[in-house]
Chain A
Amino acid sequence: MFIEYSEEQTMLHDSADKYLRENYSFENRQATVRQKSGFSGEQWQMFADLGWLAMTFDEEVGGFGGGALETMILCEQFGKYLVLEPYLESVVLVGGLIAAGAQPAIKERFLSGLMAGELQGALAYLEEGNVGNPHYVETKAEITGDGYVLNGSKAVVLNGPEADLLLVSARIGDNANHSKEGISLFAVDKNTTGMHCKNYKTYDGRSACELQLDNVVVGTEALVGEVGNASTMAAPIFARAIVAVCAEAVGAMDALLTVTVDYTKQRKQFGQSISSFQVLRHRMVDMYMEIELTRSLLMATAWKLDNGSEDAQQCVAALKAKVGKASRYVAHNAIQLHGGIGTTDEFSVGHYFKRLAAIGVMFGSRDSHLSRYMRA
C-alpha cells in the first residue's frame, strides 16, 4: 500500500491551506470565540462557496464524491488553523447520517441546504453518566398511528445551539438501555414543540447544549434508517468522524511543533537560545516522531476506509488510541517548553492544547480504543 494524492486531492490540500492562511488569523478566530454562536457565519458561507461542504457527498445528491481521504485533507487544515466552524458536526456526522439513511424529502431538503451553507446539524446521541458508550440510550421513542413521540434527555450536543436539524437517538422496544440493538435515529427540527436546549460554551470555544425532549411529536418521515438499526448504520459514519478529528489533531500538532521550535529558537535564557539545550532539542524531536507516526496511521486508515479494506475498523481504533497518546505528548510539551506564556489565553499554544484535549475525549477515549483494537 502506497498513498499518493491525486491531482484533485493535492489541489484541495493546497487551496484549503492557502485560503485559511490568508483568511483565518488566530486573532480573528479569538474574536469569533467571544461571539455567542462560537463560529463565523461568513466563514461558513465561504466554506460552502469553496465547495468544501459538498466535497464528501455523492454526486447524485449534488456533492463531489469525496471520501475519507478528502475528509482527512480538509480536517487537517482545520486543525492547523484551529477552525471553529462545525464541519464535523454538520457535514461529517449529521450530513453523513442523513445521506446514509434519511427519507427522500428530508435528505433532499437538508443536504442541499447544508451544502449551500444555509442549514446546520447536530447529533444528539450521548446521555449523562454514559458518554463513553454511544449505545447507551434511555431516551424512548413511542410509536403512534402516524409517527413517533420522543422523551428523554441528551448530553453534550455539540453545535446544538446553532443547528437547524437535530439527529436524536432513541430506543423503541424493550432492549436493555445499553444494548446495541433497538436504537433508532430521528431527524427533528430544532423548533419542534417539546425540544428544550440548555446552551453553553465548551472549553475549546464552541457552542453546545444539553437537550431535553418532552413529548416531541415527529412524523414517520423523521425516521433515519430502519427501526432499531441505528448502531449498524452509524458505524461507518463514526469511523469517518474519527478520521476527521484525528486529521484535525495532526494539523494541530503540526502547528504546535512549528510554534514551539520557533519559540525555543527566539527565547534566550542563560545567555543562549533555549533550543540549544539538548534536553529540549530531544523533546522536540520526540514530538516530531510522534506526529509523523500518527500521520502514517491517519493516511493509511483513511485510505483503507475508502478502499473497504478488511482491517479498516481495526486501524480506526489504532488511530484514535495513537492520537490520544501523541496529542497529549505534543500538547503538554508545547506548553512546557513555552513556560508561562503557554498557559495564557492570549497565546495560541493553549488553544491548540484545549482543542486536542477535546478531541481526546470525543468518540471514545484512548482506553476504549485500545480495547477495541485488541478485540478486532
Chain B
Amino acid sequence: MTDNVFREEVRAFLDESLSPDIKRAGELMTSVFADFEATMKWHRILHAKGWIAPDWPEEHGGTGWTLNQRYIFQEECKLANAPAFPAMGLQMLGPMLMHHGTAEQKDYYLPRILSGEDMWCQGYSEPGAGSDLASLITSAVRDGDDYLINGSKIWTSYAHHSNMIFCLVRTSKEGRPQAGISFILVDMATEGLKVEPIVGLDGTVEQCQVFFDNVRVPVGNLLGAENQGWDVAKSLLEFERGGHNFTIDHKKQMAKIVQQAASQRDSDNRPWKDNPVFSAKLADVAVDALALEFTELRVKGAFEAGGNAGALSSLTKVMGTEIGQRFNELSVEIMGEHTLVKQLDALQPDYKGGSIGPDCGLTTMAEYINNRASTIYGGSAEIQRDIIAKRVLRL
C-alpha cells in the first residue's frame, strides 16, 4: 500500500469514527491531556479497531505498520483533533514491560493497557528529587514475600485518574545512589496509598502528590531485578525524551495562529497577519520549526536504519518545547485582552452554554500557562543541555 492510500484509509476511518464530542475534546486541549471521559471513549474505539498501539510490535497488539505509516497515523489523528492519549501506559510502561517484564507480567499487564482497563501513572519525582532523580528516598523494605513502601512521589500526572502506578523506590543504600533503586508496579487501591491533587496555574488538576504509608506490594511486582531499577528507568526516560514528535504539534499551532492572525485586528486595523513586526516574528519561529522538522526526519531516518536518536533526542526535546512556547506567546499577543477571560466550563467538550470572546482564542491563555511546564517535565531544558554537553561535546 502506498503512503497516500494509507493516509486516505486513516482519514476515512477518522471521518467516520471521531464523533463531534470527541473531536471537541481534542480541539479544547490546553495541555498534553484532553478531557478524560472523551479520551477514554476514543481509546475504546481505537482499541476495537486494533489501532490503539501502532508503535508496539504486532505480537503484543501493534499494527505492523511501517515507521512512515505510524507517522502518518499520528499526524492525521492530531490534525483531525483526536484527543491525545496519556503516555504513561501506552508509550512508557508498555515498551518497558516488553523489554524487562516476565512472561507472566507481559501477559497480564499489556492487554490491560491496550484495553484501557488499567490507567498507569509514573511515580518518579519526589519533593527532594527532581532533576537529581537518583537521590530519591521513597523506600521499599523487604517483609516476607512483600515490600513495604514508605515515602511520597510528586508531579504524578493523572494519578487521580489512574488505578496503577509504576515507581522507582530505594531498596538499598549501598554504593552509588543509582545502584540501590528498584522498579516496582503498585496497585493504587492498596491500603496506605493516598493521592492528593495539585491545582495547576490554569485552575485545573493534572498533577498529584502520592503518599505511601506502609504500602504492601508483592515482591513479584518488581520489573527487572532488585536494585536494577535505574537501568529500566533510564531506557524509559530515553523513550520519553525521544518518543515525541513535536513537528505535528507545531504545525497545529501554526495553523491556529494563521487562523487567529486572519480574524483579529491590530492597532492599525489590519489583520495581524499583515502586521510587519508580527509577521517577521512568526516567520522567525516558523523557520526554527522547519529546521526542527528536518531534524526529526533525520532522527526518523536513523531509526529506520536501525540506529537510535542518541543525543538528538535531547536536542528535539529542548527545541521542540521551546518553539512550542514561542508559538504560545504569539497567540497570546494576537488574542490580546480576550485571553484574560477564564472560562473553565467552556473548555469542557459537553458545555452548551456558549463561550465568551472569539472561539479561536478560547484555549490560548491556558495553553500558554500550561505549556511553561513543558521545559520542566521529562528532563528539564537544563538537564537536556547537560546531556548534550556530556554526550555530544564530551565536556
A367 touches B336 (CB 8 A): no
Stretch at the interface among B101-109, B234-242, B262-270: B262-270
B198 touches A133 (CB 8 A): no
| A342 to B372 alpha-carbon distance, docked (Å) | 9
| A268 to B132 alpha-carbon distance, docked (Å) | 9
Let me know if A16 is at the binding interface, CB within 8 A: no
Q: Which residues of B contact A344 (CB under 8 A)?
A: 198-201, 207
Residue of A nearest to B201 (CB): A350
| A328 to B255 alpha-carbon distance, docked (Å) | 24
Let me know if B277 is at the binding interface, CB within 8 A: yes
A346 touches B275 (CB 8 A): no
Residue of B nearest to A156 (CB): B337
Q: Which residues of A contact B131 (CB under 8 A)?
A: 269-270, 339
- The one of B275, B357, B376, B382 in contact with A340, judged by C-beta atoms closer than 8 angstroms, is B376
Contact pattern, B 35-52, Cβ under 8 Å of A = 1, otherwise 0: 000000000000000000
Asked whether A128 and B358 contact (CB < 8 A) given A155-B338, A345-B203, A367-B277, the answer is yes
B201 touches A353 (CB 8 A): yes
Q: Which residues of A contact B130 (CB under 8 A)?
A: 269, 339-340
| A56 to B265 alpha-carbon distance, docked (Å) | 34
Stretch at the interface among A114-122, A183-191, A357-365: A357-365
Q: Which residues of B contact A138 (CB under 8 A)?
A: none
A364 touches B267 (CB 8 A): yes
Let me know if A208 is at the binding interface, CB within 8 A: yes
Query: Which residues of B, 352-395, contact A by the 8 Å Cβ criterion?
Result: 356-358, 365-366, 368-369, 372-373, 375-377, 380-382, 385
Stretch at the interface among B8-16, B67-75, B340-348: B340-348
Query: Which residues of B, 119-166, contact A by the 8 Å Cβ criterion?
Result: 125, 128-132, 135, 154-155
| A204 to B341 alpha-carbon distance, docked (Å) | 9
Asked whether A156 and B341 contact (CB < 8 A) given A340-B130, A357-B332, the answer is yes
CB distance from A357 to the nearest CB of B (A): 7
| A84 to B356 alpha-carbon distance, docked (Å) | 23
Contact pattern, B 191-225, Cβ under 8 Å of A = 1, otherwise 0: 00000001111110001000000000000000000
Q: Which residues of B contact A12 (CB under 8 A)?
A: none
- The one of A269, A277, A354, A370 in contact with B277, judged by C-beta atoms closer than 8 angstroms, is A370
B338 touches A131 (CB 8 A): yes
Q: Which residues of B contact A277 (CB under 8 A)?
A: 382
Q: Which residues of B contact A133 (CB under 8 A)?
A: 265-269
Q: Which residues of B contact A328 (CB under 8 A)?
A: 329
Asked whether A126 and B337 contact (CB < 8 A) given A203-B202, A350-B201, A367-B278, the answer is yes
- The one of A135, A361, A372 in contact with B337, judged by C-beta atoms closer than 8 angstroms, is A361
Asked whether A361 and B132 contact (CB < 8 A) given A129-B263, A132-B264, A345-B203, the answer is no
Let me know if B281 is at the binding interface, CB within 8 A: yes
Contact pattern, B 272-290, Cβ under 8 Å of A = 1, otherwise 0: 1001011001000000000
CB distance from A125 to the nearest CB of B (A): 10
Stretch at the interface among A194-202, A240-248, A295-303: A194-202
- The one of A136, A202, A350 in contact with B265, judged by C-beta atoms closer than 8 angstroms, is A136
Asked whether A156 and B340 contact (CB < 8 A) given A345-B200, A361-B332, the answer is yes
- The one of A200, A202, A357 in contact with B368, judged by C-beta atoms closer than 8 angstroms, is A357
Residue of B nearest to A331 (CB): B372
Let me know if B339 is at the binding interface, CB within 8 A: yes
Q: Which residues of B contact A193 (CB under 8 A)?
A: none
Which among B129, B275, B277 has the greatest number of chain A C-beta atoms within 10 A?
Answer: B277
Let me know if A46 is at the binding interface, CB within 8 A: no
B342 touches A200 (CB 8 A): yes
| A362 to B333 alpha-carbon distance, docked (Å) | 10
A358 touches B340 (CB 8 A): yes
A136 touches B380 (CB 8 A): no
A343 touches B373 (CB 8 A): yes
Q: Which residues of A contact B325 (CB under 8 A)?
A: 332
Let me know if A280 is at the binding interface, CB within 8 A: yes
Q: Which residues of A contact B342 (CB under 8 A)?
A: 200-203
- The one of A155, A269, A367 in contact with B266, judged by C-beta atoms closer than 8 angstroms, is A367
CB distance from B188 to the nearest CB of A (A): 21
CB distance from B48 to the nearest CB of A (A): 36
Binding site for A on B (CB under 8 A): 125, 128-132, 135, 154-155, 198-203, 207, 263-269, 272, 275, 277-278, 281, 325, 329, 332-343, 356-358, 365-366, 368-369, 372-373, 375-377, 380-382, 385
Across the A-B interface, give the 9 residue pairs with the lowest CB-CB distance, nearest first: A178-B269, A269-B132, A345-B199, A131-B336, A350-B201, A156-B337, A202-B340, A131-B337, A365-B333
Could you list 26 A-B pairs, sorted by A, with CB under 8 Å?
A128-B338, A130-B264, A131-B336, A132-B267, A132-B272, A133-B266, A134-B267, A135-B267, A136-B269, A156-B338, A156-B341, A156-B357, A208-B340, A269-B130, A270-B132, A339-B131, A340-B125, A340-B130, A340-B154, A343-B376, A345-B198, A345-B201, A358-B340, A361-B333, A366-B333, A371-B277
Q: Known contacts A203-B369, A342-B372, A354-B201; can you find 10 more A-B pairs with CB under 8 A?
A: A131-B338, A133-B267, A198-B356, A202-B340, A203-B366, A208-B341, A340-B376, A353-B201, A365-B336, A371-B275
